[in-house]
Homo-oligomer: A and B are copies of this chain.
Amino acid sequence: MKATAKAHTNIALIKYWGKRNEELILPTNNSLSLTLDGFYTTTTVDFQEDLKADSFELNGIPEQGEAYKRVTAFLELVRKMAGKEVYAHVASDNQVPTAAGFASSASGFAALAAAASKAIGLDLDDKELSRLTRRGSGSSSRSIYGGFAEWQMGEKKDGSDSYAVPIADENHWDIRMAGVVLTSEMKKISSRAGMRRTVETSPFYEGWLKSIPEDLTGIKEAIQEKNFIQVGEIAEANCLKMHATSLGAKPPFTYWLDSTIRVMRQVQKMREQGIPAYFTIDAGPNVKVLYLPEHEAEVERMLREVPGVTDVILSKPGPGVSYL
């Protein structure tokens, strides 16, 4: 009853920003992401009949705090699905630079869900796996697939129709993403808390939701047609809308630093110089920049010259979940 799985992280181009059900992790809108090569988690789950409790080791270090709680709560779901009361040793190797604002929970839970469900004898297809891993981390539902994936919010109360579907795999189109590292400080307001406060108090939340369908239609069309400018413009505008909603929250907040604005301005400058590049920003200060392979050297150079940038990490589209 042992299995090992590998999953890559993903960055949303149409953001997941708000839950309609906190416990089941059901979102208020569809989101769409690009799975990234190079950033992944490899997890081994070993269910053993004689264990009295789960254990969790991350990069060789035993975890006992919040991370352990999330893992064991997730394994509880897997046990219920399988109808087996058996505990596991979980060992994860996390190759995601969390300091760069790459969400490690996406690859982490996708790898855990894949390894745990296989080890316990569940035979899940991608859709079922996506629905399961969603319970650990919403954005992990998209990491089941390579390339572009869309998390369909679903309508049912029990969440049975809330899972991701593939849009175009990692071989469809080689567009690149640079992770621009500005700070490794923990943000004061977690994504979870930030989206909750925004959903509950921002007068802009309704406008955000209303604007999503058009963004989704446009970006899916652009992905199929490999229209980079259209993908970039929609992704950048979508992230700005997401960040706008938090400025209306009570109390208001922003994840941006002064250097966040400098990187945004530098990306505008790239475009003024004829380099198509667009930014997206998750619930934190760090910026990700979309660009095409032929502009990689210039994009990296221009990002590194921005004061406050401590690192620039480049990535290609990555694959979906695999078993080792």
Q: Name A's B-contacting residues (CB within 8 A).
A: 202-208, 210-211, 233, 236-237, 240-241, 243-245, 247-248, 250-252, 254, 256-262, 265
How far does the alpha carbon of A176 sit from the alpha carbon of B295 in the complex, in Å?
50
9 nearest interchain CB pairs?
Answer: A203-B207, A244-B247, A258-B258, A244-B244, A203-B211, A240-B247, A204-B204, A258-B261, A204-B207
CB neighbours of A207 from chain B (8 A): 202-207, 248
Give 13 pairs: A residue, B residue, CB < 8 Å, sorted on A. A203-B208, A203-B210, A204-B204, A204-B244, A204-B248, A205-B207, A207-B248, A208-B248, A257-B261, A258-B258, A258-B262, A258-B265, A260-B261
How far does the alpha carbon of A243 sit from the alpha carbon of B244 in the complex, in Å?
8
- Copy count, this protein chain: 2
Which of B247, B251, B265 is within 8 Å of A243, CB to CB?
Answer: B247
How far does the alpha carbon of A240 sit from the alpha carbon of B254 in the complex, in Å?
10
Q: List 9 additional A-B contacts (Cβ < 8 Å) besides A203-B210, A204-B244, A207-B248.
A: A203-B204, A203-B241, A204-B248, A206-B206, A240-B252, A247-B247, A256-B261, A257-B261, A258-B262
Query: Nearest Cβ distance between residue A203 and chain B, in whole angstroms?
Result: 3
How far does the alpha carbon of A257 sit from the alpha carbon of B256 in the complex, in Å?
11
Query: Nearest Cβ distance between residue A222 and chain B, in whole angstroms?
Result: 16
CB neighbours of A210 from chain B (8 A): 203
CB neighbours of A265 from chain B (8 A): 257-258
How far does the alpha carbon of A208 sit from the alpha carbon of B208 in the complex, in Å?
13
How far does the alpha carbon of A208 sit from the alpha carbon of B247 in the complex, in Å?
11
Query: Nearest Cβ distance between residue A315 and chain B, in whole angstroms?
Result: 25
CB neighbours of A248 from chain B (8 A): 204, 207-208, 211, 240-241, 244
How far does the alpha carbon of A207 sit from the alpha carbon of B250 in the complex, in Å?
14
> Is B252's CB under 8 angstroms from A237's CB?
yes
How far does the alpha carbon of A262 sit from the alpha carbon of B205 in the complex, in Å?
26
Query: Nearest Cβ distance between residue A252 and chain B, in whole angstroms?
Result: 5
Q: Which residue of B lies closest to A252 (CB)?
A: B240
How far does the alpha carbon of A324 sit from the alpha carbon of B262 in the complex, in Å?
48
Query: Nearest Cβ distance between residue A265 and chain B, in whole angstroms?
Result: 8
CB neighbours of A262 from chain B (8 A): 258
How far does the alpha carbon of A256 sit from the alpha carbon of B241 in the complex, in Å?
15
Q: Which residue of B lies closest to A209 (CB)?
A: B203
How far does the alpha carbon of A237 sit from the alpha carbon of B248 in the complex, in Å?
7
CB neighbours of A254 from chain B (8 A): 240, 261
Query: Nearest Cβ distance between residue A248 and chain B, in whole angstroms?
Result: 5
Q: Which residue of B lies closest to A241 (CB)?
A: B248
How far does the alpha carbon of A262 sit from the alpha carbon of B241 in the complex, in Å?
22
How far does the alpha carbon of A122 sit from the alpha carbon of B208 in the complex, in Å?
49
